[in-house]
Structure 1
Amino acid sequence: MNGEMDAKLTSAEIASLWTGYMNDSMEKCILGFMLKHIEDPDIKPVVQYAYDISSSHLKQLVTIFNKEEYALPNGFTEEKDVNMDAPWLYTGLFCLSYVNHMAKVGMKAYSDFISLSYRKDIRNYFIKALSEITTLFEQSIDTSLLKGLNARHPYIQVPKEVDYIDSKKYFSGLNPFSEKRPLNAVEITYLYQNVTTNSVGMKLCLSFAQTSPLKEVQDFMIRGRDISKKHIKIFVDTLMKDDIEAAQVPDVGISDSTTQTFSDRLTMFQMSLLMSSGIGNYVTSTAKSQRSDLVVNYERLSLEVSRFVKSGADIMIANNWLEQPPGTKNRNKLATDKE
């Protein structure tokens, strides 16, 4: 066991730990600001638990980094990246929706980190983190239901018998002159999931646009809002063509504050994380969908989001906001640049 604990970190473990630190340091900043303004006695404990998780993770990661002589990432801090004196920006209901959404993102991320880790102490850290974030998800769902906030996925009739696909036409859907088969339960699930995730992203983009002092960031966030609105309409229209009404996501709005609340570096990182997660959702939706028109839609929308993420990275690089992930040394450069 000691030999295993003393083994060097693999590239996957280094990448997972670095990503976890960056995400938790950002989350702590946003949640810390939310806590200052939330008054609802049901919602505040959920956000507090999310904040405590991020704080605990950062302390554990610092211990691991110091033990491994691993350079501590800069990440984000409440001192440099949050204006705690800024006016109220989010309703308590939006804060709850945000925590729920980020818990979903976290569960997927920690599952990946566990599968990529070999050293037992690193695996144990990520397994515990996954357990904590799952508990947070449970709390946020229960509180959302209590508040009447959590819009459920559409209902369909429970199947009474098993059936099999009897024609290749089941996978068709591109011909505008032929009748498309009805959506199946799996396709409905992912269409609606993408409605709800885009709804959170749309609100965040709007809040970041109205509080940023930089026009290039404002324009980027407005573009992100418009992309999310467009994608929501496509998914809702697809459902409505089968007379499946997507439950309305409650309006969990934001205030009209224009005071800068978070650093532009933090808001750009947050949107990069959400858009990358969104691309992952679209890729999964593509793999799970069996109607060709849905597959084509997801592929073209993924490309649109990828281009948007790239434009965001260009802004971050131009402003020296994009912290570089750990990597290997350029061996050719080392060999040719010797004094």
Structure 2
Amino acid sequence: MTEHHTQLTSAEIACIWTAYLIDSMSKCILSYFLRIIEDEDIRPIIELAHTISSSHIDTLNYMYKVENLPIPKGFTEEDVNLDAPRLYTDPFMLQYITHMARTGMLGFSSFVAFGARKEIKTFFIKGLQETADLFDKCTDVLLSKGLYIRAPYIPYPTQSDHVDSKKYLSGYSIFSKQRPLNAMEISHLYMNSLNNHIGSKLSLSFAQTSSNKKVEKWMIRGCEISQKHMKIFIDMLIDNNIQSPVSSDISITDSTTPPFSDKLTMFHMGLLSSAGIGNYATSAAASQRSDLVTNYERLSVEVAQFAKDGADIMISNEWMEQPPTTKDKEKLIKEK
């Protein structure tokens, strides 16, 4: 059987490019976490996460060299100040890594689906397994410290049932009471409230440490949006007599010295915004009450506008790295 070198597809190029930027960003953040961590039970989690990101960067660098592709700039030691004072508490760092591992599992699963070449699929399958293992270890430590925020409990069903009316799909009615939330709807409201809680703390810390007024203003806006969305989701749970998720001690200090560059923090919040829009789309698809679907749709528009404004700031400061793109054929013909 004749073997030949198959060129990477556009999807594979996009996946390794995205992975490089995210892992190089993560390595910077985790390096800082390792410098300030005090809890010896949490330290191994940060060390594992740092090792994973570092090994991914090494493998991706090798892939780029083999394919003779330009290596992305990503984020380097210039984007992190390891001498910056402590900005985050130990519980925050653990919750943050848990959140990013959860997001990473979703990202790697999509990367696996895009892969065709064996070594590309193998890399992303391994990444998915490593991230799942990291998430598992995070939850074990959270549980052992009483920091794990559980989803709300509901009574066990006593029998199977079927939807017997189209009213089941309606979230608005002046003639009848809304039906109770189902388990899927509750789980998505819970998860989106947690995600926004992490987002609000992170954006506040970035605003607190940035010397760029436009970045500071945008980060404060992000914090306000996250808090607003979190309140909407929690109020929906409370209106249905369901206990909302209880926040643990995930807070930030009073330090105003930036541990990360504005380029890194802007990219990070843009990444979380994209993930949030994806989460809202998934939640809308899983929800069967029309009022929930409408809420997710309108909140997605708000996040999308926020992300677009952030991208404008990044472009104006030359902080946004351009993704690999195809050639503009019309321009090529005109300039030949």
TM-score range, shorter chain: over 0.9
Instruction: Spell out, residue by residue over 1:169-226, the C-alpha distance to the aligned partner (whole angstroms, 9 max, x if none).
Output: 0001123553100000000000000010000000000100000000000000000000
Q: Which runs of 5+ in 1 are unaligned?
A: none
Give secondary structure in 1 for the equivalent of 2:113.
helix
Separation (CA, whole Å) in 2 of partners of 1:201 and 1:2? 51
Amino acid at match of 1:104: R
User: Partner residue of 2:33?
Assistant: 34
Instruction: Spell out, residue by residue over 1:140-169, the C-alpha distance to the aligned partner (whole angstroms, 9 max, x if none).
Output: 110111111111000001112100000000
Give secondary structure in 2 for the equivalent of 1:149.
coil
**1:275 alignment partner, one of 270, 273, 276:** 273
Separation (CA, whole Å) in 1 of partners of 2:222 and 2:210? 14
Separation (CA, whole Å) in 1 of partners of 2:134 and 2:127? 11
Amino acid at match of 1:164: H
Residue 337 of structure 1 deviates from its aligned partner by: 1.0
Residue 249 of structure 1 deviates from its aligned partner by: 1.5
Separation (CA, whole Å) in 2 of partners of 1:314 and 1:158? 49
User: Partner residue of 1:258?
Assistant: 256
- Stretch of structure 1 that moved more, 248-257 or 111-120: 248-257
Separation (CA, whole Å) in 2 of partners of 1:231 and 1:260? 27
User: Partner residue of 1:24?
Assistant: 23
Q: Which runs of 5+ in 2 are unaligned?
A: none
Matches within 5 A, 1:227-266: 227-266=225-264
Residue 2 of structure 1 deviates from its aligned partner by: 7.1
Amino acid at match of 2:246: Q
Amino acid at match of 2:299: L
Amino acid at match of 1:8: Q
Identity of aligned residues (%): 54
Q: Does 1:44 align with 2:19?
A: no
Residue 260 of structure 1 deviates from its aligned partner by: 1.7
Separation (CA, whole Å) in 1 of partners of 2:157 and 2:177? 23
**2:300 alignment partner, one of 282, 302, 305:** 302
**1:140 alignment partner, one of 138, 141, 145:** 138
Instruction: Spell out, residue by residue over 1:36-69, the C-alpha distance to the aligned partner (whole angstroms, 9 max, x if none).
Output: 0101111010011000000000000000100000
Separation (CA, whole Å) in 2 of partners of 1:104 and 1:19? 17
User: Partner residue of 1:8?
Assistant: 7
Question: Given the superposition, is the C-alpha separation of residues 219 and 2 from structure 1 closer, same or farther in structure 2, using an over 3 Å criterion?
Answer: farther
Residue 261 of structure 1 deviates from its aligned partner by: 1.4
Q: Does 1:125 align with 2:123?
A: yes
Separation (CA, whole Å) in 2 of partners of 1:175 and 1:318? 47
The answer to whether the 8 Å contact 2:194/2:245 transfers is no
The answer to whether the 8 Å contact 2:168/2:288 transfers is yes
What's the TM-score, normalizing by structure 1? 0.98
Q: Does 1:115 align with 2:105?
A: no
Residue 252 of structure 1 deviates from its aligned partner by: 1.2
What's the TM-score, normalizing by structure 2? 0.98
Separation (CA, whole Å) in 2 of partners of 1:319 and 1:147? 42
Amino acid at match of 2:56: H
Give secondary structure in 2 for the equivalent of 1:63.
helix
Separation (CA, whole Å) in 2 of partners of 1:72 and 1:92? 34
Q: Does 1:96 align with 2:97?
A: no
Question: Given the superposition, is the C-alpha separation of residues 111 and 178 from structure 1 closer, same or farther in structure 2, using an over 3 Å criterion?
Answer: same
Question: Given the superposition, is the C-alpha separation of residues 325 and 2 from structure 1 closer, same or farther in structure 2, using an over 3 Å criterion?
Answer: farther
Matches within 5 A, 1:305-316: 305-316=303-314
Separation (CA, whole Å) in 2 of partners of 1:336 and 1:8? 28
**2:185 alignment partner, one of 184, 187, 196:** 187
